[in-house]
């Protein structure tokens, strides 16, 4: 026996197939969205771990490096933050200091010109807002950037803007500024 399909039957089949495709697409979109959220979470965890690793590579040697430049350091603090009210205004990866001088260090695995620009803004913010539980009043503030990888002449840009530049050289970290370098001074007045 032969089945004859009418135009209505064919339209119903197309509609049914279209509904199935839409349900499959919606299910796929939902799974994709969940997958993206999980991926972003894992990427954030990896970036945080990598950032901590880079900071741990820089910190042990950095005090010696600045002392060799006649900048005596007796305190080293990670993640110093300045607040306006209850809102964080800035965060410093590494703050090196004594009673007269402080060096705010931005540490990146891959240092870019934009990172240097952001750090210059951060240094201006430090002049306006005191870090939590740290008195920098009257201190001369210097800036420094550190990177395992330096992109697009970010080191030259930082140097020209008066920042110390630290980079990895084999298994050690070094300040790459030459003897002609004059660091920019920010005066802290609260």
Instruction: State whether CATH 3.90.1150.10 applies to domain 61-187.
Output: no
183/92 Cα distance (integer angstroms): 18
Task: Please compute the mean of the pLDDT values over residues 136-151 and round it to a whole number.
Answer: 91
Structure tokens at 13: 């089949």
pLDDT tens-digit map of 70-92: 999 999 888 899 998 889 999 99
Instruction: Give the pLDDT confidence score for residue 4 in this predicted structure.
Output: 81
Question: Percent of the chain beyond pLDDT 90?
Answer: 41
Instruction: Give the pLDDT confidence score for residue 111 in this predicted structure.
Output: 92
List phi, psi (to 5°) of 158.
Answer: -60, -45
User: Domain residues of the chain, as ranges?
Assistant: 61-187
122/91 Cα distance (integer angstroms): 8
pLDDT tens-digit map of 104-142: 999 888 899 999 999 999 999 998 888 888 888 889 999
For residue 122, give the nearest of 75, 88, 166 by alpha carbon: 88
129/115 Cα distance (integer angstroms): 21
- Return mean pLDDT, the chain: 86
Instruction: Give the pLDDT confidence score for residue 11 in this predicted structure.
Output: 86
pLDDT tens-digit map of 53-72: 556 666 768 888 999 999 99
Task: Reply yes or no on whether the pLDDT at 38 is more than 80.
Answer: yes
Instruction: Give the pLDDT confidence score for residue 138 in this predicted structure.
Output: 87
121/88 Cα distance (integer angstroms): 14
3-state secondary structure 116-155: HHHHHHHHHHHHHCCECCCCCCCCEEEEEEEEEEECCCHH
Instruction: Give the pLDDT confidence score for residue 145 in this predicted structure.
Output: 96
**Contact indicator for 164, 144 with CB cutoff of 8 Å:** yes
Task: Reply yes or no on whether the pLDDT at 32 is more than 90.
Answer: no
**Contact indicator for 166, 173 with CB cutoff of 8 Å:** yes
Predicted structure pTM score? 0.71
């Amino acid at each position: 026996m032969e089945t004859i399909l009418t135009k209505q039957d064919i339209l119903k089949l197309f509609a049914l197939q279209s509904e199935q495709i839409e349900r499959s697409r919606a299910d796929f979109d939902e799974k994709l969205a969940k997958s993206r959220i999980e991926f972003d979470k894992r990427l954030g965890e990896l970036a945080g771990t990598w950032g901590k690793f880079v900071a741990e590579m820089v910190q042990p040697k950095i005090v010696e490096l600045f002392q060799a430049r006649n900048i005596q350091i007796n305190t080293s603090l990670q993640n110093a933050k300045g607040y306006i009210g209850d809102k964080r205004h800035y965060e410093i990866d590494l703050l090196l200091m004594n009673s007269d001088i402080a060096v705010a260090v931005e540490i990146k695995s891959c240092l870019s010109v934009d990172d240097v620009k952001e750090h210059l803004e951060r240094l201006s913010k430090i002049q306006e807002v005191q870090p939590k539980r740290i008195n920098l009043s009257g201190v001369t503030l210097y800036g420094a950037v550190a990177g395992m990888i330096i992109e697009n002449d970010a080191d030259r840009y930082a140097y020209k803007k008066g920042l110390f530049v630290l980079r990895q050289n084999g298994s050690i970290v070094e300040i790459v500024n030459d003897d002609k370098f004059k660091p920019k001074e920010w005066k802290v007045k609260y």
